[in-house]
Amino acid sequence: MQAVILVGGQGTRLRPLTLTVPKPMMPLMNRPFLEFQVNLCLRHGVREIILSTAYLPEVFRSHFGDGSHLGARMIYVTEEEPLDTCGAVKNVERYLEGTFLVFNGDVLTDLDLTTLIAYHREKGGKATLYLTRVEDPTAYGLVPLDRGGRILEFLEKPSWDQVTTDLINAGTYVLEPELLERVPEGEPYSFERQLFPQLLEEGVPMYGFPSEAYWMDIGTPAKYLQAHYDILSRRLPFRFEGEEIKPSVWVGEGAEIHPQASVFGPTVLGPGCRLEAHAVVSSNCVLGPGCRIGEGAHLEGAVLHEGCEVGPDAVLRRCVLAREVTVGERVHVSDQAVLGGRVKVGDDNDLRYGIRVWPDAEIPPQTIKF
Ligand code: GDD
Ligand code: MG
């Protein structure tokens, strides 16, 4: 079977992280996020993957190439103008050979694809949608089912008075190719707002596949952090890289930990990281390659991309630092603050409450305080 992965969105809710890297290529556990979906496909024998790109397309190709090193065959199709979710699949129709899978490119899941595909065949509908349960369905596509699992309605971003179930579209579909015959070519067209509601109106059989599998849409900084914590606590499969120097502490090649520094798991230090004396890297941290943590600095629940420098006595908690961020002495960063690439924070600043600093900004010493 083939899979189409939709990776054309701009990831606006994750800015400034997504200004230079498309959301599906953001590092998750120091790997490009999309590798998780590609690996899921490979685990279930899906080897041909068509990437439907629109935003920053070259980043995907330069990482995955033709996919052969992963045992996959990757095909890239780039839209000149974004064609929306279904238009994007119509645009790759010439590559499709039969029943196929579609993935939203921003979902982390360990769904059993083999069972999903078997369920689709058993029910014999034209489309089968993976569904998950959430507390607040208003940010998703609401999908009520009848007792036989048939989809009754598809309501994208419902208002609270429309909410009749907690089942939502989890962003993975098994589809029959003839569905694309009715989709217009070369113009924006949406699965969620156009094709699915229209099929239901016409009585075309579509089924929902509710699953308790791990599921997370990494669309916001809070969820991006949570995805790291969940992988660190092994809520979904992951092959940790580096040496496990003590339980759940993985350290990459060439990393140097001062004898008076401490690291507590679960935590990952990328290759070439350096921890100075009395630095404490506590639980739920993931440090990209080549990060340097100054004397007496304290990190907990912090995700640092490649090449960040953290000054002496700085404190980082539940925050994200993109590539090559420099943080001065005694700086505090917490509460889901996000610092864009190459940001420089001068000494004695305090960044909190979900603050987002755009790439390359420089914050002079003692500028932000609470
Ligand atoms: N190629 C291409 N072209 N891809 C696109 C385009 C486009 O024009 N627009 C969006 N995408 C991709 C995005 O990159 C993402 O992977 C996927 O399509 C879904 O778009 P989002 O912008 O992330 O949608 P959403 O999160 O608001 O809602 C969707 O996902 C929810 C689950 O996370 C819907 O499918 C909901 O029904 C669903 O519940
Ligand atoms: Mg999304």
pLDDT in tens, 283-297: 999 999 999 999 999
Amino acid at position 70, single letter: L
Query: Which domains, and CATH codes, for the chain?
Result: 2-220 (3.90.550.10), 246-363 (2.160.10.10)
Res 57 pLDDT > 90: no
292 strand-pairing partners: 274, 309
Q: Is the dihedral of CA 353, 219, 271, 343 positive or negative?
A: negative
Q: Closest-lying ligand to the alpha carbon of 52?
A: 1
Return the number of other C-beta atoms located less than 10 Å from residue 42's C-beta. 15
Mean pLDDT in residue range 276-281? 98
Which DSSP category does 367 fall into?
A: -
pLDDT recorded at residue 55: 84
Mean pLDDT in residue range 312-333? 98
Question: What is the Cα–Cα distance from 106 to 6, expressed in whole angstroms?
Answer: 9
pLDDT recorded at residue 13: 80
Token code pair at residue 319: 């925050």
Secondary-structure percent of the chain, ordered helix, strand, coil, rounded to 5: 25, 30, 50
Ligand 2 centroid distance, CA of 219 (Å): 6
Res 120 pLDDT > 90: yes
Token code pair at residue 121: 């065949």
pLDDT recorded at residue 190: 98
Res 370 pLDDT > 90: no
Question: What is the Cα–Cα distance from 197 to 79, expressed in whole angstroms?
Answer: 24
Q: List residues near ligand 1 (CB under 6 A).
A: 6-9, 52, 54, 79, 82-85, 88, 104-107, 140-141, 156, 168-169, 171, 192, 217, 219
Asked whether 176 and 127 are in contact (CB, 8 A), the reply is yes
355 strand-pairing partners: none
| Three-state DSSP state, 119 | helix
Which residue, by CA, sits nearest to atom 21 of ligand 1?
9
pLDDT recorded at residue 19: 82
Asked whether 71 and 142 are in contact (CB, 8 A), the reply is no
Q: Where are the beta strands (DSSP E) in 91-133?
A: 100-104, 107-109, 127-133
User: What percent of the chain has a predicted confidence (pLDDT) above 90?
Assistant: 91
* Region at 54 (left for phi over 0; alpha for psi -120 to 50; beta for the rest): alpha
Ligand 1 mutation pick, 14, 85, 218, max ligand atoms within 8 A of CB: 85
pLDDT recorded at residue 133: 97
Ligand 1 centroid distance, CA of 111 (Å): 18
pLDDT recorded at residue 18: 78
User: What percent of the chain has a predicted confidence (pLDDT) above 70?
Assistant: 100
Ligand 1 centroid distance, CA of 232 (Å): 26
Question: What is the Cα–Cα distance from 88 to 102, expressed in whole angstroms?
Answer: 10
Q: Provide the CB-side half-sphere exposure for 222 (13 A, CA).
A: 3
Which residue, by CA, sits nearest to atom 10 of ligand 1?
9
Token code pair at residue 183: 């989709």
Ligand 1 centroid distance, CA of 302 (Å): 27
Closest ligand 1 atom number to CA of residue 141: 37
Closest ligand 1 atom number to CA of residue 168: 39
Res 207 pLDDT > 90: yes
Res 270 pLDDT > 80: yes
11 vs 328, which has greater pLDDT?
328
Element (H, E) at 209: strand 206-210
Token code pair at residue 190: 């949406």
Element (H, E) at 206: strand 206-210
Mean pLDDT in residue range 183-206? 97
Amino acid at position 18, single letter: T
* R_g of the chain, CA atoms, integer Å: 22
Token code pair at residue 30: 């120091």
Res 10 pLDDT > 90: no
- Average per-residue pLDDT for the chain: 95
Question: What is the Cα–Cα distance from 168 to 75, expressed in whole angstroms?
Answer: 29
Which residue, by CA, sits nearest to atom 1 of ligand 1?
8
pLDDT recorded at residue 66: 95
Residue 143's closest CA among 121, 120, 173? Answer: 173
Res 11 pLDDT > 80: no
Which residue, by CA, sits nearest to atom 14 of ligand 1?
9
Torsion of CA 325, 313, 279, 243, to 10 degrees: -10
Which residue, by CA, sits nearest to atom 5 of ligand 1?
8
pLDDT grade, residue 63 (50/70/90)?
A: very high
Mean pLDDT in residue range 28-50? 96
pLDDT recorded at residue 97: 95
Which DSSP category does 184 fall into?
A: P
pLDDT, one tens digit per residue, over 157-166 is 999 999 999 9
pLDDT grade, residue 14 (50/70/90)?
A: confident
Res 9 pLDDT > 90: no
